[in-house]
Every structure is written in structure tokens, then in C-alpha cells.
């Protein structure tokens, strides 16, 4: 083959053209068809009254730009968790903070390992940052395959994303497994531990971990979207060593965190008792859903998040269709399983009625 025949690397435009567009869903249309939604891992409880009140206050200021770098949110998070502001990154959601980290740390062609199935946005964010994603399949029991992660590291690996509790299986990485895994990665690898659902985990073994004790190359990624119920406002944060957090702060889109989001996040952090009560409510509903599914003869995995995973393999889409017919939307991962967010009584009743009908049709 002559040099002229060597295929050239795809351009950025070609790479982006190959990427599927991210799913679109209009929240205003939600429920208009009478279908209840358990497909998005949203908090099934209304916003805290103090948050709604804070929105009234913020509403009168939407003609003004927010702080370009959301310094109030950054300082509030730092104070709340007793870390130095230099060790904090904030952004409009933890997905955005992950994007900031990818843009700051990964050059073109650098590799990023991530668990799969996992949060839909991982491959999307990795590709839009110009990096190369390598999915690492979960084990049959829905957990991170630690040996496979260690084996997948190459000389181009720059970042490893882990997720605990994991979306979509709800399984967690234990503290000792995490410690072993971090020790197996070379020092140039930055590990981002996505803790979007950590507050739902009663044991919070990983929550007790701080990014310093985990090692200088570990980032903890958190959000106000899940336990705090602020998905529609967009606020997320991360803890990292100053030499990782600093560059990631530089890639934050100026003015991207609204004043309303900053303010509501601060109000939420100031309500630890309400958060604890809400987590208790969700865990209670999760256990009830898990046990009711088992009573139908299904085999959900024990979950530490605000959703339950049914490893149905080839039957996943059939379950999804049965749920929709019963008036509730769940998230089917074709060929793998179904993720059901913890919801209210009526939504659970519909899921269980679908499950009853589904099990009678299993050949
Ligand atoms: C594992 C995980 N990480 C991060 C996110 C992003 O959340 P947000 O950008 O709303 O903070 C999600 C959202 O579903 C998620 O499931």
C-alpha cells in the first residue's frame, strides 16, 4: 500500500456525524398521554418547599447574568464538605462537569474506559471531547469487572470512569475493590468515580471516601439532580486534586450555571434532615418494589440507587412493551435488562401488573 492509499483519520465532523443524537424528551409532554414515567431515575418526590421558595426569589433576577464561574455554588460545596475550593469543580449538572474533566484532561485519541451498560452520555461526552471510548462490559451479576478494567488499560489510557451505585444495575463497588483497582492503574490515569446516586446507598461505603484518601488521581463526581431532586435546574460538582480541578474549572462554559440553580443547590445543602428523610422514603419504596418483583418470580438485583434492574436479557424489550401497555414507561436496554426507577404507588402498581402478565407469557 502506498502512502496515498493509507486511509486518513476521520475528521471531527465525520466522527460527530457517526454519533447518534442524544435522546430527546419534552418534560411538558410528560404524563399528557396518561403514561407514568419510571424511565429517567428522577426523584419521585416534589421539590422541597424551601427550593420552590428560592425559585420565586431567583425568578425576579432572570434578566441578569449569573456569576460566570458560579463561585457561590463552588464555595458552598467546599464549605459543606470541608474541602478547599481549589479542589472543587462545578457545572450545569454532573454530566457537564464530566465533560469539563474530559476536555481538560484528554487529548485527541486518548482513551477513556467506562463501564457498559452505563450512563448513556458516557460514550457521547467522550467522543465530543475528541477522546476514544472503550466500553468495559459489566459482569453477569451487573457489577464492574475489575479484572477487565485493569486489563483494558493501554499506554493511551488517560481516564477511567467508574460508577457506584451503578446506573443501570444499582450495584456498588466496595471500598476494598476500589482501593485494589486504583492501585492497579498507572499514575497517569485519572479515575472518575461517578457518584450520581451515592446518597441513596444506605451503607455509603464509598461516600465515606474522600478524593484525597482515594489517591491523587481520583475524582468524585456528584450531582444535585438525583437525591436533591434538582434535575431540571442543572447543578453538579466534583472533588479532585487542585492540579486536576483547576484545568477542569477553566473548561466550564462561562455563565452556564444559572443563579436559580446555584441558589437552590445552596438551599438544598442546608436541609440535611429533609434529605435523610427523603432517602429513607426512597429506600423503603425501593425495597417494596424489589420484593414485589421477586414475589412475581422475577430476579431483580439488590439495588443501592433509586432504581431496580431486572436482568431479562432477550426479554427486556418485551417487558418494556408490557409496562407501556400497563401505562408506565420503564427503560429497556435491548438484550440486557430493564431499569425501573423508584416511583409512587400508582406507578409501582402498574409495573407490577405488567410484571404479572409478563411472567405468564415467558415460554
Ligand atoms: C450515572 C450518572 N451520572 C451522571 C448523570 C448526570 O446527571 P446530571 O447531569 O443531571 O447531574 C446521570 C444522569 O442520569 C447518571 O445516571
Task: Provide mean pLDDT across the span 314-338.
Answer: 97
Task: Work out which ligand 1 atom sits closest to the CA atom of 236.
Answer: 11
- In Å, the largest CA–CA distance within the chain is 69
Q: For residue 16, tell me if it sits in a domain.
A: no
- How far apart are the CA of 225 and the centre of ligand 1, in A? 7
Mean pLDDT (whole number) for 269-283: 95
Closest ligand 1 atom number to CA of residue 98: 4
Question: Which residue in this structure is represented by grid cell 460508577?
Answer: 163
| Domain endpoint, select from 269, 291, 317 | 269
Asked whether residue 2 is assigned to any structural domain, the reply reads: no
- CATH number assigned to the domain comprising residue 33: 3.90.1150.10
Instruction: Report pLDDT for 2.
Output: 47
Listed residue (129, 113, 135, 136) closest to 16, CA to CA:
129
Is 5 contained in some domain?
Answer: no
Do 33 and 87 belong to one domain? no
- Per the structure, the count of domains in the chain is 2
Closest of 339, 329, 351 to residue 31, by C-alpha:
329
Q: Find the 95 Cα to ligand 1 centroid distance in Å.
A: 6
Helix (H, G, I), strand (E, B) or coil at 135: strand
Q: Do 200 and 61 belong together in one domain?
A: yes
Residue 329: pLDDT above 80? Answer: yes
How confident is the prediction for the chain on average, in pLDDT? Answer: 92
Q: Which of 224, 240, 269 is the last residue of a domain?
A: 269
- 41 in the same domain as 87: no
* pLDDT band at residue 15 under the 50/70/90 scheme: confident
Shared domain for 140 and 232, answered yes or no, is: yes
Q: How far apart are CA 27 and CA 321, in angstroms?
A: 21
Q: Percent of the chain, pLDDT > 70?
A: 93
Q: pLDDT, tens digit, for every residue of 121-135?
A: 999 999 999 999 999
Q: Do residues 212 and 74 both lie within one domain?
A: yes
Confidence at residue 5, expressed as pLDDT on a 0 to 100 scale: 60
Check whether residue 214 and residue 293 sit in a common domain: no
Atom of ligand 1 nearest to the CA of 96: 9
CA–CA distance, 13 with 8 (Å, rounded to integer): 13
Closest to 190 (Cα-Cα) out of 142, 131, 145, 241: 241
**For residue 74, what pLDDT band results from cuts at 50, 70 and 90?**
very high
Q: Note the pLDDT of residue 166.
A: 98
Torsion, Cα 57 62 65 68, to 10 degrees, reads 60
pLDDT tens digits, 35-61? 999 999 999 999 999 999 999 989 989
Q: Are residues 40 and 119 in the same domain?
A: no
Mutate to test the pocket of ligand 1, among 118, 168, 223, 231 (most ligand atoms within 8 A of CB): 223
pLDDT tier at 210 (50, 70, 90 boundaries)? confident
Q: Nearest-CA neighbor of 91 among 208, 262, 209? A: 262
Q: How confident is the model at residue 225 (pLDDT cuts 50, 70, 90)?
A: very high
Phi/psi region, residue 170 (left: phi>0; alpha: psi -120 to 50; beta: rest), is left
Ligand 1 atom closest to 166 (CA): 1
Model confidence band, residue 1 (pLDDT cutoffs 50, 70, 90): very low
Could you tell me if 39 and 329 are in contact, meaning their C-beta atoms sit under 8 angstroms apart? yes
Ligand 1 contact, 163 CB (< 6 A) = yes
Is 244 contained in some domain?
yes
Is the model's pLDDT at 204 over the cut of 80? no
Please choose, from the candidates 152, 64, 79, the residue with its C-alpha nearest in 3D space to the C-alpha of residue 111. 152
Same domain, 93 and 171: yes
pLDDT of residue 145: 96
Q: What is the CATH number of the domain that holds 108?
A: 3.40.640.10
Q: From 196, 227, 264, 333, give the residue whose CB has the most ligand 1 atoms within 8 Å, as the site to mutate.
A: 196
Asked if residue 318 and residue 331 are part of one domain, the reply reads: yes
Domain co-membership, 317 together with 200: no
In a domain, 207, yes or no: yes
* Residue 3 clears pLDDT 50, i.e. is over it: no
Q: Which domain holds residue 101?
A: 50-269
Q: 6 in a domain, yes or no?
A: no
Q: Is residue 18 part of a domain?
A: no
Average pLDDT estimate for 260-278: 96
Tell me, yes or no, whether 177 and 252 share the same domain: yes
Say whether pLDDT at 207 is over 50.
yes
Same domain, 249 and 118: yes
Which of 220, 238, 269 is the C-terminal boundary of a domain? 269
CA distances to 59, 220, 240 from 56, in Å: 5, 32, 33
Specify if 1 maps to a domain.
no
Q: How is 23-65 classified by DSSP, letter by letter?
A: P---GGGTTTTS-EE-SS---SSPPPHHHHHHHHHHHTTTTS-
Amino acid at each position: 500500500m502506498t502512502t496515498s492509499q493509507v486511509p486518513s483519520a476521520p475528521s471531527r465532523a465525520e466522527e460527530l456525524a457517526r454519533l447518534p443524537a442524544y435522546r430527546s424528551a419534552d418534560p411538558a409532554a410528560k404524563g399528557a398521554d396518561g403514561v407514568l414515567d419510571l424511565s429517567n431515575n428522577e426523584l419521585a418526590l416534589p421539590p422541597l418547599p424551601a427550593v420552590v421558595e428560592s425559585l420565586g426569589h431567583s425568578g425576579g433576577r432572570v434578566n441578569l447574568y449569573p456569576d460566570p464561574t458560579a463561585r457561590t455554588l463552588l464555595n458552598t460545596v467546599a464549605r459543606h464538605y470541608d474541602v478547599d475550593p481549589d479542589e472543587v469543580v462545578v457545572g450545569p449538572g454532573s454530566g457537564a462537569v464530566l465533560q469539563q474533566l474530559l476536555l481538560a484532561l484528554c487529548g485527541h485519541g486518548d482513551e477513556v474506559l467506562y463501564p457498559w451498560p452505563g450512563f448513556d452520555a458516557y460514550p457521547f461526552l467522550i467522543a465530543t471531547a475528541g477522546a476514544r471510548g472503550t466500553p468495559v462490559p459489566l459482569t453477569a451479576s451487573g457489577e464492574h469487572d475489575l479484572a477487565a478494567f485493569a486489563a483494558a488499560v493501554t499506554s493511551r489510557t488517560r481516564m477511567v470512569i467508574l460508577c457506584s451505585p451503578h446506573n443501570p444495575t444499582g450495584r456498588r463497588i466496595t471500598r476494598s475493590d476500589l482501593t485494589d483497582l486504583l492501585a492497579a492503574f498507572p499514575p497517569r490515569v485519572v479515575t472518575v468515580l461517578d457518584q450520581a446516586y451515592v446518597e441513596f446507598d444506605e451503607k455509603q461505603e464509598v461516600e465515606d471516601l474522600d478524593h484525597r484518601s482515594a489517591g491523587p488521581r481520583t475524582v468524585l463526581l456528584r450531582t444535585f439532580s438525583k437525591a436533591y431532586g434538582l434535575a431540571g435546574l442543572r447543578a453538579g460538582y466534583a472533588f479532585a486534586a487542585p492540579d486536576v480541578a483547576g484545568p477542569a474549572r477553566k473548561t466550564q462554559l462561562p455563565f452556564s450555571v444559572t443563579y436559580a440553580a446555584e441558589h437552590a443547590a445552596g438551599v438544598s445543602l442546608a436541609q440535611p434532615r429533609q434529605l435523610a428523610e427523603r432517602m429513607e422514603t426512597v429506600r423503603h419504596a425501593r425495597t417494596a418494589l424489589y420484593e414485589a418483583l421477586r414475589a412475581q418470580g422475577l430476579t431483580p438485583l439488590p439495588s443501592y440507587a433509586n432504581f431496580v434492574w431486572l436482568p431479562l436479557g432477550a426479554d427486556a424489550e418485551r417487558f418494556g412493551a408490557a409496562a407501556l401497555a400497563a401505562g408506565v414507561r420503564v427503560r429497556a436496554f435491548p438484550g440486557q435488562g430493564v431499569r425501573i426507577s423508584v416511583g409512587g404507588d400508582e406507578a409501582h402498581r402498574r409495573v407490577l401488573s405488567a410484571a404479572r402478565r409478563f411472567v405468564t407469557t415467558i415460554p
